[in-house]
Amino acid sequence: MNRKKLGLSLTITLAVASMVRADDVPPAGAKEMFFDPQRSVSETSSASRPSKITGDDGRRIAQLAPEASVLGLSYWIELIANASKRGAHVTDERTFQSGERIRLHFRGNADGRIVIVQLGTSGVSSVLFPDAAKGLAHNRIRANRDHVLPSAEHWFRFDAKAGTERLLVLFARNQDELDRAFPTQPLMDAAATATLLRTVQQSRGGKDLLIERETREPSEIGDYAVNVAGKPIALEIALTHR
């Protein structure tokens, strides 16, 4: 079993405010739009809300997103305690301890392609997934399926050196669209990494991207990101450990 050491932190803020009629529910946030991609941001009624349907893993299933609708990606962190095979659902609000192990779970509300970039402390970066050299060449995500990345056999163990390590998660409906939006290379120097980060910040500066964190509903704990225009999504994950 491959073991990668990290120590990673991310703060995500979502603000949604609106006046609604008494017989209406609030405008859809990122989580509800993830599960119902055709739901309007500003107009929705309680009668139109979808029922909750859960899959074999107990997590809610999203309605399939047509090409022109909202594109969504969710992720959660599995904290593996001791020798247990499955762990607790947590978010990166948690401060991890040296020796703890985690796995990252991703789910899209549509079929798509995903790339994970690891950002180094010196300003350089590298593509963590996909990685053909390690037999991880296929980066397709199927809608509504839980994907453990880089793979189900890989987990991350926090070493004794406290710190923070950052990941960029890039997601689009197809590889061509992903490459156009966020060009990456297996290894990127400081200049190439800075260019990528500027592109990511520009993509997150508009109103199309909504992000929400769920911490109360046990089966839905995690972070949800949707692009209401159906454009590629870029998320930064940072996990801190002591």
Q: Alpha-carbon torsion 80, 83, 84, 86, what sign?
A: positive
Does the structure show a pLDDT above 90 at 141?
yes
Pick from 154, 64, 67: nearest CA to 104: 154
Hey, where are the domains in the chain?
Answer: 3-13+26-241
Kindly state the helix (H) or strand (E) to which residue 33 belongs, with its residue range.
Answer: helix 30-35
CA torsion, ordered 123, 147, 162, 188, to nearest 10 deg:
-10
Q: What is the mean pLDDT of the chain?
A: 81
Pick from 3, 236, 241: nearest CA to 117: 236
Between 63 and 213, the higher pLDDT residue: 213
Strand pairing category for 187-188 and 125-129: antiparallel
The residue count of the chain comes to 242
Structure tokens at 117: 């970039």
Question: For residue 26, what pLDDT is reported?
Answer: 46
pTM for the model stands at: 0.79
Model confidence at 80, in pLDDT bands (50, 70, 90)? Answer: confident
Q: Alpha-carbon torsion 236, 102, 178, 165, what sign?
A: positive
Does the structure show a pLDDT above 70 at 1?
no
Question: Other C-beta atoms within 10 Å of 18: how many?
Answer: 10
Question: For residue 2, what pLDDT is reported?
Answer: 53
What percent of the chain clears pLDDT 70, i.e. is strictly above it? 76
Largest CA distance in the chain: 57
Q: Cβ(126)–Cβ(111) under 8 Å?
A: no
Between 93 and 87, the higher pLDDT residue: 93
Question: Other C-beta atoms within 10 Å of 14: how many?
Answer: 14
Residue 88 to residue 62: CA distance in whole angstroms: 22
Residue 124 to residue 58: CA distance in whole angstroms: 39
Respond yes or no on whether the N-terminal peptide bond of residue 130 is cis (omega within 30° of 0).
Answer: yes
